[in-house]
Amino acid sequence: MASLIPDTPCSCDCFVSVPPASAIPAVIFAKNSDRPWDEVQEVVFVPATMHAPGSRLQCTYIEVEQVSKTHAVILSRPSWLWGAEMGANEHGVCIGNEAVWTKEPVGDGEALLGMDLLRLALERSSSAQEALNVITGLLERYGQGGSCREDPTPFCYHNTFLLADRTEAWVLETAGQLWAAQRIQEGARNISNQLSIGTDISAEHPELRAHAQAQGWWSGQGTFHFAQVFSLTQQPVRMEAAKARFQVGRELLQQQQGAITAEVMMGILRNKESGICMDSGGFRTTASMVSILPQDPTQPCVHFLTATPDPSRSVFKPFIFGVGVAQAPQVLSPTFGAQDPARTLPRFQTQVDRRHTLYRGHQAALGLMEREQDQGQELQQKQQALEQEGLEAARGLLTGQWAPPPQEWGRLFQTFVERESQVYA
């Protein structure tokens, strides 16, 4: 039977700022991906592709029908699965997902993971609202399910999503195949492993309220509050911790209303005291992402990804979709083909080393930071200086002070990955 409510902490935190909450005319998206402590997350670039009619697509566990064209995407994903924890596409759509448990039972049958739904939406949409429609359509057809970690003991959950584009954001929260969504056209918003949509519902599953009434969760009279109706009656301790993180995250956003930048979001993701930057109970922040989505469509979107654990000791590196973008090999995990324990049945009976080159270098650097204070401090200063260069490059690009040809955009992430690798050499 699947583990429905894990004993160990499992958390993620997503944030978005829509003008006028942002300091600049841009939507700012951010996420910490909190996963099993030793799980490796890789950064994968997938180019736009045309597909033959009738094509099938193998996701983590099941096949789905392929569409005729998929958009270019940059993904931060646990390296054993097909989907992604967070990512963006060439049209400036960003999505992050989170685990959630509700009154709807979580089965252990294999279906689409929330991470699969995230990638499918990025590949098939050109706006946040279109991405929402992709996810809800796939949810209706295929459902969500399957173990969400590389372990012989199944660990399953449902999902919430934060979707953003250049003009707005959406929060999508699911309970099985049911869902509710809230549109965010201004201000700041966050989600943290709990249902957070109340009465302000912008769209919903057509049977949402009827199902709640049939189950005896709602009388059918008065105001319908999605989170109150579908949240577990007795919350486990772990969910109480999610409430605290959600509240702190909301307060941190409110403190910076009108002044939120990529740097502010990075600071929030690095907040250890609140648990937003996690390292406890066998889970930690394994990768992080911050994106700047300018409202001016002539300006490029800039996505910062770490590809390494613990954002407080990692480098956010800039990625821009442009001519000649190629995969950075240093952040790509090794593959194991048909012998991969995620593909052989029964699954996850053995373990393999999925660490990519940058992960190995960063792992050694973390060890040095903990053993040698002076050398560790010097190493962290080099990390900070490199990150600052990336932020200044993005700032120059968005203000017109730096105007490289689009051919150079495509190599930006690769260049910063190489330079970070040299820091750890």
Span 214-266, pLDDT tens digits: 999 999 999 999 999 999 988 767 677 888 899 999 999 999 999 999 999 99
What are the structure tokens assigned to 53, written together? Answer: 């009619």
Q: Where are the alpha helices (DSSP H) in 231-309?
A: 237-255, 262-269
Q: What are 297-326's pLDDT values in tens digits?
A: 999 999 999 999 999 999 999 999 998 898
What are the structure tokens assigned to 394, written together? Answer: 């993005």
Q: Which residues of 65-79 are buried (b: 16+ CB within 10 A; e: fewer)?
A: ebeeebbbbbbbbbb
Cis peptide before 311 (omega within 30 of 0): no
Q: Is 148 a catalytic residue?
A: no
Query: Tokens 């929030």 identify what position?
Result: 268
Average predicted confidence (pLDDT) for the chain = 95
Task: Tell me which of 125-139, 273-287, 361-375 is least confident.
Answer: 273-287
Q: Can you say whether residue 180 is alpha, beta or left, with left for phi > 0 and alpha for psi between -120 and 50 degrees? A: beta
Of 13, 127, 151, 1, the C-alpha closest to 71 is 127
Of 407 and 128, more confident: 128
Element (DSSP H or E) covering residue 291: strand 283-294
Q: What are 80-93's pLDDT values in tens digits?
A: 999 999 999 999 99
Looking at 12, 14, 156, 277, which residue is catalytic? Answer: 12
Determine the pLDDT at residue 51: 98
Q: Which domains does the chain have, with CATH numbers?
A: 12-424 (3.60.60.10)
Determine the pLDDT at residue 251: 97
Residue type, position 315, single letter = V
